[in-house]
């Protein structure tokens, strides 16, 4: 599906506690990036309205809507995708889902990049990339940071880590920085043509964890205690 990126394109990232929006229109970039906490659902539409007003466009003018596909915060991802579908459906606007770990990884260029983000419950979401060549080297995974192993033949000194998992006490066992992407990064990745566009009805989220909450007993066991 061809997307004319010379026309306005909106990107939405609600995969973390931040609400990040980027609109490229008329060769200009309009952005909002705020710590929204649990207020994403009440802030997202007014802020998108502000961006449209600043750019002098409306939803009917969009060539595509880019959304954070996951893995990430379960509720946030559903909010972002729902809004993207709501904006796109009346005008048959294509949607482009960009995996969150891709947006994390492609902040840097290196042959061995570990993108890792906080998955809560004592785990991290992660994947390996060769961002210099534009390739993903592993599946998207979830697990304990300490259990992450490097790709075969990857020299430890050549590995670069990126993502908020590197700000955790139990961070991955590699050197890394905790920088996270903004909606502008999702916008740029979508424009690369690497990700398939779809109609609103077929937009999907990327889940790598089937279970999104632990029982009190499971939480205690993960902490090494008793329920």
Question: What average pLDDT does range 133-142 have in this prediction?
Answer: 96
At what angle are helices 40-55 and 74-88 packed, to 10 degrees?
A: 40
pLDDT on residue 210? 66
User: What mean pLDDT, rounded, does the chain reach?
Assistant: 92
Confidence label for 209 from pLDDT (cuts 50, 70 and 90): confident
- Three-class DSSP category at 134: coil
Q: Give the tens place of pLDDT for each residue, 10-24.
A: 999 999 999 999 999
Confidence label for 213 from pLDDT (cuts 50, 70 and 90): very low
- Three-class DSSP category at 29: strand
Q: Give the tens place of pLDDT for each residue, 42-78.
A: 999 999 999 999 999 999 999 999 999 999 999 999 9
Confidence label for 217 from pLDDT (cuts 50, 70 and 90): very low
How many angstroms from the chain centroid is the CA of residue 119? Answer: 12
For the cut 70, the answer to whether the pLDDT of residue 211 exceeds it is: no
E strand or H helix that includes residue 139? none
Q: Give the tens place of pLDDT for each residue, 149-196.
A: 999 888 888 899 999 999 999 999 999 999 999 999 999 999 999 999
pTM for the model: 0.90
- CB-based contacts of 145, cutoff 8 Å, min separation 6: 116, 123, 124, 126, 165, 168, 170, 171, 172, 173
Q: Give the tens place of pLDDT for each residue, 103-125.
A: 999 999 999 999 999 999 999 99
E strand or H helix that includes residue 83? helix 74-88
Please state whether beta strands 64-68 and 95-98 pair in parallel, antiparallel, or not at all (unpaired). parallel
For the cut 60, the answer to whether the pLDDT of residue 214 exceeds it is: no
Give the span between the Cα atoms of 38 and 19, in whole angstroms.
Answer: 10
List the Cα angle 20/106/47 in 5-degree steps.
10
For the cut 70, the answer to whether the pLDDT of residue 222 exceeds it is: no
């Amino acid at each position: 599906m061809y997307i004319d990126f010379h026309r306005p394109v909106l990107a939405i990232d609600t995969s973390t506690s931040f609400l990040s929006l980027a609109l490229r229109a008329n060769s200009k970039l309009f952005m909002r990036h705020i710590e929204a906490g649990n207020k994403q659902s009440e802030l997202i539409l007014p802020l998108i309205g502000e961006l449209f007003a600043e750019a002098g466009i409306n939803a009917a003018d969009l060539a595509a809507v880019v959304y954070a596909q996951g893995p990430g915060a379960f509720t946030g991802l559903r909010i972002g995708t729902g809004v993207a579908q709501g904006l796109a459906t009346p005008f048959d606007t294509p949607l482009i889902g960009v995996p969150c770990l891709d947006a994390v990884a492609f902040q840097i260029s290196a042959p061995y990049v570990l993108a890792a983000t906080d998955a809560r419950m004592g785990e991290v979401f992660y994947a390996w990339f060769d961002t210099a060549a534009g390739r993903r080297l592993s599946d998207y995974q979830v697990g304990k940071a300490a259990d992450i192993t490097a790709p075969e033949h990857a020299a430890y000194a050549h590995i670069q880590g990126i993502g908020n998992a590197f700000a955790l006490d139990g961070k991955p066992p590699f050197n890394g920085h905790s920088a996270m992407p903004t909606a502008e990064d999702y916008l740029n990745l979508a424009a690369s043509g690497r990700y398939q566009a779809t109609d609103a009805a077929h937009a999907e989220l990327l889940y790598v964890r089937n279970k999104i909450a632990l029982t009190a007993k499971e939480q205690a066991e993960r902490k090494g205690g008793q329920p």
